[in-house]
Amino acid sequence: MGIPPHLAGRMSMAEQHEYLRSRFSRRTMIRGGAVTVGAVVGGAFLPGATAQAAAPTASAVPAQTRGAERIDGALVAPFGRHLAYGADPRTEMTVSWQVPVAVRRPYIRIGAHPWDLSRKIEAEVRTLFTPAGVGASGDHTQYYLHAELTHLRPGRTYYYGVGHEGFDPAAPRLAGTIGTFTTAPDRAEPFTFTAFGDQGVSYHGLANDSLILAQGPAFHLHAGDIAYADPSGMGRKEDTGYDSRTWDQFLAQTESVAKQVPWMVSYGNHDMEAWYSPNGYGGEDARWRLPGNGPDRKNLPGVYTFVHGNTAVISLDANDISFEIPANLGISGGTQTRWLEAQLKKYRAAKGIDFVVVFFHHCAYCTSTAHASEGGVRQEWVPLFEKYTVDLVINGHNHVYERTDVLKGGEVARQLPIGGTAYPETDGVVYVTAGAAGRSLYAFSADESYEGQVKDDDAVSSFVCLADGERRAETVAWSRVRYLDYSFLRVDVTPAAKGRTATLTVRGIAETGEEVDRFVVARRVR
């Protein structure tokens, strides 16, 4: 990204940002954007909704996008649609998309039927400019649009179309552009969600998306390292070769799923992009609209939480506590960890919430020869996961599929063979690395061991990343499943009545569609 390799490896994210901004000071990051947010009303929506303005970012200019008056909107088609839950998935959904050039008056149409899209809401515009020299391309401008919908009804399917002046999705000739989404229910019902990390743009990523769509998930979790526009991962010593256009490819690739399934992301080391902001997340702020209920929206936009049915989900930013890649180490000053504990305490006391799932990028426990385990996560968060009996932890970072036994205090509390059942209230926590979504695969030091090819090994050689770049060797007994090919995670949630047992049935699914792992997390409903 224009930073000499011998400097980039020693710089924090804020220092890299300052270096780039001083070098390219005559450029401007964001050239314009009219910022509005709409709340929809009517029979399919809850009463009391009103349109309201959203506060623009510090770099936004509240004006019509430059050059839009010269574009015939009929010749410009939206692409890269992706959904995200709001803080309340029962009543809030954000629809996001791109256009390849500036357009006038972008908007969304929404209704309870495909033939009734009369409700029209202006869209928020975020224009992201990357100058030549910062990236691998010449000057490149990207136009991201967002419509935050509120006062929706729980458990309802809505139809929507995105457009702009000259491109009306309600027109009969554009009927094929209509999409759908379904809000979360207001009571506990069975549902499925999927998860992975480290996808990027590739044939394998596309194949995984096709399989994920077939699972019928209520939502999808992407545990960091999203598009890989920055292939070096910030802090690496090689030249980054940053290319903002990779995001255009990624959002087009994932649209088949993300246009109808909320695609909930956390941020990994490859998602910090130094040009746009001191924390590296300025670009992400333009591309994604995530629930804004985390502890520090300015520095940690990828930290948030939501509840779907009987399951609470927490997204964390492990860049804040990573010893291995310290570009953003300590950016929250401990705020994130304190917030995490408050959320875990709240959810464990909440009526109607049976399961707590946490996802983030860097691995708490993994034996891949590339990154293995992150000492910062073990130090800061693992004790909280155990204290509040978190039901499932999902990570990426290592491009493998690996699953632990049930762990407590860094040791095996209960072996969890394929097909086994974990009881977090009494046993401990299960950790899954699901980082084989599309990028090139890593390796293990021990043999693979998965469904149909079990090779248990209770003495696997690995290491944990410590402060100041140190690696401490360790031999572990907790690596129960190891699979080295493209894959993702499917989780089926089954609620239960009071006094009975609710379950998470967790499966590792290979790119071939074959099951490589299965286990159950069980919790008695109080």
> In the beta sheet, which residues pair with residue 506?
491, 519
Phi, psi dihedral angles at 2 (to 5 degrees): 85, 5
Q: How far apart are CA 389 and CA 162, in angstroms?
A: 42
- Residues in Cβ contact with 207 at an 8 Å cutoff, skipping those fewer than 6 apart: 486, 511
Give the position of tokens 């391309």. Answer: 137
Angle at 178 between CA 177 and CA 184, to 5 degrees: 140
Tens of pLDDT, residues 220-258: 999 999 999 998 886 443 445 899 999 999 999 999 999
For residue 325, the one-letter residue type is: I
Give the position of tokens 């946490």. Answer: 358
Q: How far apart are CA 438 and CA 207, in angstroms?
A: 9
Its pTM stands at 0.91
| DSSP code, position 113 | B
517: closest CA among 477, 469, 484? 484
Assign 3-class secondary structure to 140-172. EEEEEEEEEECCECCCCEEEEEEEECCECCCCH
For residue 407, the one-letter residue type is: L
Check if the beta carbon of residue 101 is closer than 8 Å to that of residue 165: no
| Neighbour-count burial for 110-127, b at 16+ CB within 10 Å, e otherwise | bbbeeeebebbbbbbbbb
Q: How far apart are CA 353 and CA 196, in angstroms?
A: 23
Per-residue pLDDT of the chain (526 residues; tens, 9 = 90+): 566 555 566 678 787 777 676 766 544 444 433 333 444 444 576 655 433 333 333 333 333 344 555 789 999 999 999 999 999 999 999 999 999 999 999 999 999 999 999 899 999 999 999 999 887 888 999 999 999 999 999 999 999 999 999 999 999 999 999 999 999 999 999 999 999 999 999 999 999 999 999 999 999 999 999 999 998 886 443 445 899 999 999 999 999 999 999 999 999 999 999 999 999 999 999 999 999 999 999 999 999 999 999 999 999 999 999 999 999 999 999 999 999 999 999 999 999 999 999 999 999 999 999 999 999 999 999 999 999 999 999 999 999 999 999 999 999 999 999 999 999 999 999 999 999 999 999 999 999 999 999 999 999 999 999 998 899 999 999 999 999 999 999 999 999 999 999 999 999 999 999 999 999 999 999 9
Sign of CA dihedral 92, 183, 354, 196: negative
The CB density around residue 58, as the number of other CB atoms within 10 Å, is 9
Coil, strand or helix at 262: coil
